[in-house]
């Protein structure tokens, strides 16, 4: 698969590096801005840098837009899109219908990912479903999920945000382990990362059971796990997480 990139930033760099180290790398043509980043990426096999945005668009039918929302207008003013172009937008918060209007007559698909795309095995999300995109990303080793509604797709962005929230929790727990046991921070982080990986394995292996049911299966009465579950429940520890998720989902709801 050949992809042109308009706006090579932190996320697109991660994506390109991840895909290029996979078993099924793509061919990439990059816009030249962000000189330092682009200079590093052009060393990778299969990656070229075009002289300008116009050349990227002339050469590639599939294009990733990797700019920030406020940079989108300026970017689109520099390119002439045609019906054969398929734009994949990473731009958070800009709806598919708005993108389709602004990029007419090109086809538009929204994509979401996190910086973890630097490693095959991470997940990418699409709206609407696009097998022309899903298949090459699956072949490159990525978990691909597509959504029937744009609101569900927006939730995928928040699931990416939750990753960072979990990382903050891991930091706090790891700091406690270090302070109480004298172990190295890296050792503590490894322990907690392994525990989190095990929760993911349990969830994947038991799709018939809810996360809460699995938690109670691990935390049988009288165990340390059960004491922790009971304490966190009594403190309503999940409440701030639910509150911020609700708030952000509300902001992403389509306006009438």
Signed CA dihedral, 192, 193, 194, 200: sign only = positive
CB of 247 to ligand NAP, least distance (A): 18
> Looking at beta carbons, which residue is closest to ligand NAP?
9
Cβ atoms within 10 Å of 157's Cβ, excluding its own: 18
Interaction of residue 5 with ligand NAP, rule CB under 6 A: no
- Is the separation of the CB atoms in 18 and 77 below 8 Å? no
Helices (H), 3-108: 10-20, 35-41, 53-59, 72-77, 96-103
Report d(CA 223, CA 231) in Å as an integer: 12
- Mask 152-171, x = binds ligand NAP (CB under 6 A)? --------x-----------
Residue with tokens 């050349």: 55
Q: Which of residues 77-116 bind ligand NAP (CB under 6 A)?
A: 78, 90-92, 114-115
Q: Which of 3, 4, 8, 188 binds ligand NAP (CB under 6 A)?
A: 8
Interaction of residue 10 with ligand NAP, rule CB under 6 A: yes
Interaction of residue 39 with ligand NAP, rule CB under 6 A: no
- The residue among 47 and 188 lying less far from ligand NAP, judged by its C-beta, is 47
Residues in the chain: 256
> Given the rule CB under 6 A, which residues bind ligand NAP?
6-12, 31, 33-34, 53, 66-69, 71, 74-75, 78, 90-92, 114-115, 160
């Amino acid at each position: 698969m050949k992809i042109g990139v308009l706006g090579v930033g932190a996320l697109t760099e991660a994506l390109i590096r991840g895909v290029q180290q996979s078993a099924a790398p793509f061919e990439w043509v990059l816009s030249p801005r962000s000189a330092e980043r682009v200079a590093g990426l052009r060393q990778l096999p299969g990656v070229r840098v075009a002289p300008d945005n116009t050349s990227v668009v002339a050469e590639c039918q599939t294009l990733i837009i990797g700019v920030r929302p406020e940079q989108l207008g300026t970017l689109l003013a520099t390119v002439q899109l045609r019906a054969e172009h398929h734009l994949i937008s990473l731009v958070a918060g800009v709806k598919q219908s708005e993108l389709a209007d602004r990029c007419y007559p090109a086809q538009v698909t929204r994509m979401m990912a996190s910086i973890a795309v630097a490693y095959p095995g991470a997940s990418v999300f699409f709206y609407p479903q696009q097998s022309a995109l899903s298949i090459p990303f699956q072949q490159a080793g990525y978990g691909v999920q597509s959504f029937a509604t744009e609101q569900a797709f927006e939730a995928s962005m928040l699931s990416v945000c939750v990753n960072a929230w979990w990382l903050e929790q891991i930091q706090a727990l790891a700091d406690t382990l270090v302070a109480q046991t004298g172990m190295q921070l890296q050792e503590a982080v490894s322990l907690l990362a392994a525990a989190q990986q095990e929760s993911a394995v349990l969830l994947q292996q038991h799709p018939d059971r809810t996360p809460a049911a699995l938690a109670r299966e691990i935390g049988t009465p009288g165990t340390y796990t059960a004491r922790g579950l009971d304490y966190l429940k009594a403190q309503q520890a999940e409440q701030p997480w639910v509150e911020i998720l609700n708030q952000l989902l509300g902001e992403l709801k389509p306006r009438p």
